[in-house]
Chain A
Amino acid sequence: MSGPFGPRRPLLGPDPAALAAADPLYGQVVCACEHVTAAEINAALAGPVAATSADGVRKRTGAAYGRCQGSLCLAGISFLTAMSTGTGPASVRQTARGTVGS
């Protein structure tokens, strides 16, 4: 669970209650299956090699890789991705080149 850069899923680490003080968005769980929060997703969308698609967020954070495969969270992930890339619900990229709507 823990790597050289800290726990893979901060919420699964030893002191989850302390995370909210670092960033209130750690309390905003987007992917409930894999326990991935808006803080981690925003970090993936803003990092040095920023994600530009929902799949990019998935590969960086693990959001939507769980039991329900995005049934619950893909709307939230694509919303955050659209906000970050300046696109909309239909024009946001789901994969590297493909959009959610046509």
Chain B
Amino acid sequence: MTAPCLVVGAGPTGLGCAAELAAARPVELIDRIPVPGGEAGWATPAITALADDARRRGVRFRLGNTALRWERGRLLIAGPGKIEWIPGERLFYAGGLRPATPADLHITGDRPAGVLPATVAHHLLTAQNRLWRRLAVIGDGPWAGPVAAHARVGGSTIIAITPGCDPPEWADEAITQATQITITGRDRVQAVRACTKLQWTETACDGVVLAASPRPNRNITGALADDSPGVTFIQPLAAASIIERSEIGRSAARSWIAANKGTG
């Protein structure tokens, strides 16, 4: 029996990739949360349609499992109550994007509470939590606009700190030329200091969201580097629509099938 192709990440990209691979191989689709859609959300009609299509084509869904380790044709997955190795011919990794960390952005200063990655802030804000009065959003990645919109609904004033961008439309105030960012605060964050043309300006805030420069999320041991053996990474950096992302997944699958005809 041929080992299946394994697709990790059931967002738009992974769903498209899995559906297309199913024409040539058995396919198993793995995601750490128990529903498809990833950051696009499980209830979106476009996601439901993609998931239905993948199921019709015979993709086996293994949702609610976190992929941990990839080595020599097998993948370690963990779900509540069950941890197991499953065989795989190849790993297609569509694990999405994450915002840049403070270290990625060379942010200096204190490490107080109230500084959160945009993905976490988005999660908390969409659950109707009111968290901050003056929120500094660093960067203009795909999460920045939605985070700002949700925070504003909760009554926050939004300060954008977006080096190299025009003042974004989602902000009430903007600092656009900063070359260095420092955070101050003892217990909770009190201010962001930005250096623009050798002048430091201090902006008071009670929350900071890191929403800059999306980069590929990687967390499977053995599938971290771009040239990891047996792995195809499909993590388009430019924010695209659900359909566009699923097409990028499909096209990666088609290229691989074309290059590996007759070996399955």
Contact = CB atoms under 8 A, between A and B. Distances in A.
A98 to B, nearest CB: 3
Interface residues of B, number: 46
A89 to B, nearest CB: 5
A70 B113 CA distance: 13
B83 A20 contact: yes
A91 to B, nearest CB: 10
Interface string A2-26: 0000000001100011011000111
A38 B68 CA distance: 15
Interface in B178-205: 185-189
A101 interface: yes
B82 A27 contact: yes
Contacts of B218: 67
B240 interface: no
B116 interface: yes
Contacts of B206: 102
A33 to B, nearest CB: 5
B98 A71 contact: yes
A28 B185 CA distance: 34
A27 B117 contact: no
Interface residues of A, number: 39
A83 interface: no
B203 to A, nearest CB: 15
A96 B127 CA distance: 25
A93 B187 CA distance: 10
Contact of B188 (A24, A27, A72, A98): A98
A95 B80 contact: no
Contact of A11 (B83, B185, B219): B83
Interface of A: 11-12, 16-17, 19-20, 24-29, 32-33, 35, 37, 66-72, 74-75, 78, 88-90, 93-102
Interface of B: 32, 66, 68-69, 76, 78-85, 98-99, 101-103, 111-114, 116-120, 123-124, 127, 129-133, 185-189, 206-207, 217-219, 221
Closest 8 CB pairs of A and B: A98-B113, A94-B113, A101-B131, A24-B81, A29-B66, A71-B117, A98-B187, A97-B187
